[in-house]
Amino acid sequence: MQKSSSPAVAGVRSQARRALGAAAVAGVAGLALAPAAFAADAVDAPVATAPGAADVQEVSGVAVDARKATDMQSGKYTAPLVDTPRSITVISSQIIEQTAATSLQDILRTSPGITFGAGEGGQPLADRPFIRGQSSGNNIFVDGIRDTGGQTREVFNLEQVEVIKGPDSVYSGRGSGGGSINLSTKSPKTSNFLRGSAAIGTDNYYRGTADGNYAFGENAALRLNLMVTEGDTPGRDSVDFKRWGIAPSLAFGIDTATQLTFSYYHLDTDQDPDYGIPLVTKRGTAANSWGPTSPDGRTKPASGILDVSRDAYYGLDRDWMKTKADIATIAVRHEINDDFSVRQAFRYGKTLNDYFVTNPGDGGVAQFVAGEWWMKRGTKSRWNETTTIAFVSDVSGKFNLGSIENSFNAGFELGREQNDNASYTFYTASGSSCPVGFTGAGTGDCTRLYAPNPSDAWSGTINRGPASQSKTKTAAIYAFDTLKLTEKLLLNVGVRYDDYSTKGYNAASTNTNGVITSVSYTNVPKTSWDFVNYQIGLNYKPTASSSIYGSFATSSTPPTIAAGDQNGSGGIGSGSLSTKVLDPEDTTSYELGAKWNLFGDQLALSGAVFRTERKNAQILVGPAATDFAQVGETRVQGVELGVSGKITPKWQVFGGYTYMDSELVRGAVTVTTTGTGSNAVTTVTPHLNTGDPLANTPKNTFSLFTTYRVLRPLTIGGGAYYVSKTFGGNQGGAGGGGNGIYIPSYTRYDAFASYQVNDKVDLQLNVQNLTDERYILRTNGVHHADPAPARQTMLTLNVRY
C-alpha cells in the first residue's frame, strides 16, 4: 500500500519512493534538486510532474535527497505551496552546496528581503536575521521546533531552509512578527550511500564533510553527518575560526505505517570575536573633530562609519568566543489509514554562547595626542546557557464535508526554556600604555584609532559574574484547514491559542580588581500572557500549476522578547507603566500575490505585494519623563518577486527582488524646556525619528544565482547580490541616537564552476566576493560596524559511493 505523503514533524518522514518531481516548487523562490555533486548526471534527465512526486531520486545507484519545495517539515501546511496563500522561500541543498554556504548568513544572502543585525539587542555575536524589517533571531526552528539560545548555526546537516515571510504566529507562536526560518535536517534513507567533500582555500581555509547512510533490515537505517573546518576571515587577518560537528540519526519503520526516529546534533565552535570597526562618534561631535579645522584634516564620512582599514582589528589575544549546541530529538509518526496520521516529537536541547570581546565603541571618545588619534578599548561579554524541552503532537488528514474537500492539521505544543545569563568582570593589571597627555583613561589598554595593534600585550583578571535566570513556559493549541470550495477556489484558514509565561531572578555583583566581592539576587515575579492569532487566505487557480491569492495574518510578540531576541523575565513597563504588565506587540499583514509553474513545472515564478503593521510598542508620549503608553507603531510595505528552476534543461536560476518601504509611524516624543522658574516653557514635539525608515530594512534587495551547463562535465555560473542603503540603530534617518548612521549600498558578485571527473568524483570552484568589494555587512548605529569578508577562493573535491 502506498503511504500518505503528508509532511512530517521534527524530521520524521514516511513516504514511498516514487518518481522525482523537480520543480513543483509552488511559486516560491526555492528549488530542491539533487546536490551539486550529482547535478551533472541529472541535468538532462526528464522531469516527472505527476501529483505526489516524492523526495528521493536514484543517481548512479545512490539515493539522493531531493525534497520538493512542496515538502515543508510541518503538517500545518495543509496544501502544496502553490496553494498556500503567503510568501515562502525554500532554499534547497543544491543552492547551499553550489554557493559554498557554511553559515545561516551565507544561506539567507540568497533570499532577498532578509538582512542581519549587528551585535546588540538580545543576541550579540549570534545569528540575528531581520525579515521584512523585524528582528527574527528568536524565530528560528529546526524541523519545526523552536531553536532557542544565542547560536551561530552550521549547514553540514541541512537538507533545505524554509523562510516564511510576514507575521506567522499562527504557525510558530510568539514573536514571529516578521516571519520565521525553519532548518530542515537530513534524515535516514533506505539505501546505502557514502559521500563526502574536502575543501581548501585562501585565508588558510579548509573544510571536510562526510555523509553516510547505512540501511539494515528492510526499513531501518543509520545516517551520520560529520564536519570539521578552520580558517581566517578574509580581509580580517586577525580573526580566525574553527568548528566541528557531528549529527547521527537512526530510523526504524521507514516507508511503513509507523516510523520512529532518533537524532542528535552537536556543534562546537572556537573563534576570535569581532566587533568590527568604530563609528564616527568615536571622535565625538565637536566642530573641530572633523573637516578643515580638525587636527588631521579628515572629512567626516557621510555614512557615519569610520574610514579605517578593512582589516583594522581592535581585539586582543585575551578575547574569545566559544559556542556549543547539543540537541536530541525523538519523533514518531503513525499512519492510521490512507487519510489520517498522527505525529509526536520530543526534544531536549542545550546551547552555550560564551564570549569576551573588545568593543571599539565603548571605551569613550578618542583623543588627539602626539599627532595621532588614540582610543581606550572597551569590552562586552556574555555567558549564556539555554536549556530547552519541547513536545509537539498533532493529527493530519483529509475528509469531505458534503461536496467540500478538507485537508486539516490540528495539535498542541508544550515548551520550557531556561536562560542563564552572566557577564564577566575584568581588571587590567598591565596593558598597552596610553600616550602622555591622554586624560581619563585609567591604566593601560589604549591603541591607535586608525592603526590598532591586536598584538598589544595585556595581563589582568577576568572572572565570570553571577548568572541571572529566566524560565519560560509555553502551551499552545492550533488547527489548520484547506477547504476546496470548487475546482478553482480554495480557502485556507488557521487559528492558534498560546499561553506564555516567564519568571526568574536578576543577579547583581560588586567586584574589586575583577574579583567578585558580593552577590545579590532580586526575584522577578511571574508574568503571563495569552493570545490568539489567525490567518485566512483565498486562492483562485487559473490552472492546476498556478494561483492568485489574498491573505491576512497576525502575530503577537510578548514584551520579554519585543526589544531583543533573547527571552527575559519581567515584561513590566516604564514610567507610568512601571506597575503594569505590558501587552504583547501586535503585527498584522495583508498580502496579494500570484504563483506560476512553467515549462512542465520546471520553472517557478512568484510575485506578491504586502503591507505589515506593528503596533503596541511602549513609547514616551508626554512632557513628563514618566509619561509612557503602548502606542508605538511601524509599517513596512512593498513588493517581492521570486524565480527558481530551469529556463532550459541546461540553465538554472534562483533568486528574487524585494522592495520595502518602511516607516516609523509613531515614535516617542521629544521634550524640551526653555527658561527657568515662572518663565519656563515646556515643548512637546514628535520625535525626530517619526517618519524615518526602519533599521536593517533596505529599500531594495536583489539576488540571483545561476548556472549553465556548457559541456556535459562542465557547469559554470555565479551570483549577484545587491543591497541598497540601510540604516542602523533603532530606526533610520536620524536613527541610532540621532547620528544617522547607515550602510552604503553595495553589489557583490560570486563565481562558480564544477567539473565532473567521473560518476563518483567532481571538482567545484567558488570565488566569493569576486571583485573584492569593500562593503559593510551590518551596523547597530551606536557602537560599531562590521566589514564584510574580502575575496576568497575555495576548491572542493566531492566524492560519492
* Residue 698, helix vs strand vs coil: coil
How far is Cα 275 from Cα 786, in angstroms, rounded to an integer?
Answer: 7
Extract the residue ranges of the chain whose pLDDT is less than 70.
Answer: 1-73, 118-124, 441-443, 562-569, 687-688, 729-739
CATH of 81-179+210-456+468-800, one of 2.40.170.20, 2.60.120.10, 3.40.190.80, 1.10.30.50: 2.40.170.20
Cβ contacts of 75 within 8 Å, gap of 6 or more:
6, 7, 8, 9, 343, 394, 396, 409, 411
Burial label for 16, CB within 10 Å (0-12, 13-18, 19+), is: middle
Select from 650, 534, 604 the least CA-distant residue to 70: 604
Structure-block grid coordinates of residue 162: 524554509
Contact assessment for residue 633 and residue 640, using Cβ atoms and an 8 Å cutoff: no
CA 99 remoteness from chain centre:
17
What is residue 559's predicted lDDT score, i.e. its pLDDT? 86
CA angle, residues 798, 800, 801, in degrees to nearest 5? 160
For residue range 411-465, list pLDDT tens digits in order. Answer: 999 999 999 999 999 998 888 888 888 887 666 789 999 999 999 999 999 999 9
Answer for the pair 726, 743: CB distance below 8 angstroms, yes or no.
Answer: yes
What is the three-state SS of 168-230?
Answer: CHHHHCCCCCCEEEEEEECCCCCCCEEEEEEEEECCCEEEEEEEEEEEECCCEEEEEEEEEEE
pLDDT of residue 6: 36
This model's pTM is above 0.75? yes
Which residues make beta-bridge pairs with 118? none
Q: What is the pLDDT of residue 574?
A: 81
* Distance of alpha carbon 354 from alpha carbon 228, whole angstroms: 20
Instruction: Quote the CA–CA distance of 67 and 56 in Å, as a whole number.
Output: 7
Q: How many CB atoms lie within 10 A of CB 285?
A: 12
pLDDT digits (tens, 9 = 90+) for 29-54: 333 333 333 333 333 332 222 223 33
**What's the start-to-end Cα distance of the chain, in Å?**
31
Q: Amino acid identity, residue 417? A: E
The answer to whether 205 and 232 have CB atoms below 8 angstroms apart is: yes
Q: Can you give the pLDDT at residue 707?
A: 97
